[in-house]
Amino acid sequence: MTILWRFKELLKDLLLGKVRPAQKFFLGLEAPQKEITVWLHGRDAPLDVTNHHSLACASPFIICVAFEKGTKLKERELQVLSLHFCERENSRRLLGRIGLKYNGMSLPTKGPNLYFFQVSSASSYCLPLINLWMFYLQLRYRNWRYPSPPNTITLPSLQMRAMNILFICPRPIGLASAEEGSRGNMFPMNVMGQLDHGYFGFGLKEARSPSRLVARARRVALSTIPMQHGDLGYKLGPNHSKKTGIDWIDLPFATKRSRRYGIPIPEFALHVREMEVEVMKKLGSHIFFVGRIVEEERFSQWAEWCVIHGHYQTWRLRSRPVEIEFSIAEDARIKRGLIAESGLI
Ligand SMILES: Cc1cc2nc3c(=O)[nH]c(=O)nc-3n(C[C@H](O)[C@H](O)[C@H](O)COP(=O)(O)O)c2cc1C
């Protein structure tokens, strides 16, 4: 190792921080995650929406917040809403804040009332300010030096910062299966969220075949899987690009059938939600699907394959120094042999 190399590393440690996990960071967590609470501020009292919101579309960045059936938000409230991402334990510290800008759309369902928001501000408190600024400076330089291939979603700075904050809250990655005759597809999803006990939302790129398959089949089985098998789940990323779906036999693992609809799901699934699609809405790059949960099965309680933003992992590791090497190795194990996507979506 040359002196110049060492100097560069020292400078990076100083400016960007010593622990620099990947932006899209995989880890295993017991379900449902208990680390972060998402609070909606701006109404009379803060509302816990941890299990009542979902990323709905990547470009533009749109968040869906679910309210009890019949809720009508006042004009005045719609101007001042924000999401606060706070630690659940310890000092309940605020780690990120997204200011919400109502995009004029609300959707009634047979369950919750859904409101859709873009972003008006985004502040992250996971890293020291100097490290955060240097991170965004380095990202700008990389994007300028190595432009993304065409058809990749690139977000304006504010929306990208909001996306990073959204993933302070650990989000399970689901393997969604849908079937049409003898063919179907199984593909990973992280643009999704629980809307209430009976409803679930998920976004699929309009330009890719899974959105068309789900729109036709109107039935989906969504499985979470153990972290241990995250590498197999990650390998299914390219299934988003398979125009005519897949033969079930080609999956790199054994399957079994879901209880209600009999759709193939991974043999090692931890938790399966079977859903009937009630609403579909094109929002931009993604179509947002709202599914009514018709059946739910939990098979076991292993640590679930989840994704968080690397900045939150840096924050977590401050109080868990012994986990640094293992967690970074685990994330790398899942991505091994595949081109890791740089962003979160
Ligand atoms: C872990 C993981 C989660 C993903 N989640 C979604 C999702 O929720 N919605 C979606 O439309 N695509 C999702 N994708 C698909 C990717 O955005 C991407 O389109 C896919 O990996 C194919 O790569 P390509 O676009 O470079 O061909 C996901 C992919 C991976 C690996």
Instruction: List Cβ neighbours of 100 (8 Å cut-off, separation of 6 or more).
Output: 42, 63, 65, 81, 82, 83, 117, 118, 119, 120
Q: How far, in Å, from the CA of 228 to the mean position of ligand 1?
A: 20
Asked if the structure places residue 144 within a domain, the reply is no
Q: What is the DSSP string of 145-201?
A: HSPPPTT-----HHHHHHHHHHTTS-EEPEEEEEEETTEEEEEEE-SEEEEETTEEE
Question: What would the pLDDT profile of 277-289 be if each residue is shown by its tens digit?
Answer: 999 999 999 999 9
Asked if the structure places residue 192 within a domain, the reply is yes
Residue 130 has pLDDT above 80, yes or no: yes
Asked if the structure places residue 238 within a domain, the reply is yes
Q: Specify the pLDDT at position 147.
A: 86
Asked if the structure places residue 37 within a domain, the reply is no
Residue type at position 57: C
Angle, alpha carbons 274-278-283 (nearest 5°): 110
Angle subtended by helix axes 3-16 and 129-145, to nearest 10: 120
Asked if the structure places residue 43 within a domain, the reply is no
Q: Whose CA is nearest to atom 14 of ligand 1?
A: 189
Question: What would the pLDDT profile of 324-345 be if each residue is shown by its tens digit?
Answer: 999 999 999 999 977 666 566 6
Asked if the structure places residue 152 within a domain, the reply is no
Residue 1 has pLDDT above 70, yes or no: no
Q: How far, in Å, from the CA of 74 to the mean position of ligand 1?
A: 36
CATH number (domain holding residue 256) = 2.30.110.10
Q: Ligand 1 pocket check: which of 240, 286, 289, 308 to mutate, most ligand atoms within 8 Å of Cβ? A: 240
List residues near ligand 1 (CB under 6 A).
173, 188-192, 203-205, 208, 234, 237-238, 240-241, 345
Residue 183 has pLDDT above 90, yes or no: no
Asked if the structure places residue 225 within a domain, the reply is yes
Give the residue numbers spanning the domain of 245.
171-305
Rounded Cα distance between 316 and 273, Å, is 29
Beta bridge partners of 47: 40
Q: How far, in Å, from the CA of 188 to the mean position of ligand 1?
A: 7
Structural domains in the chain (count): 1
Asked if the structure places residue 102 within a domain, the reply is no
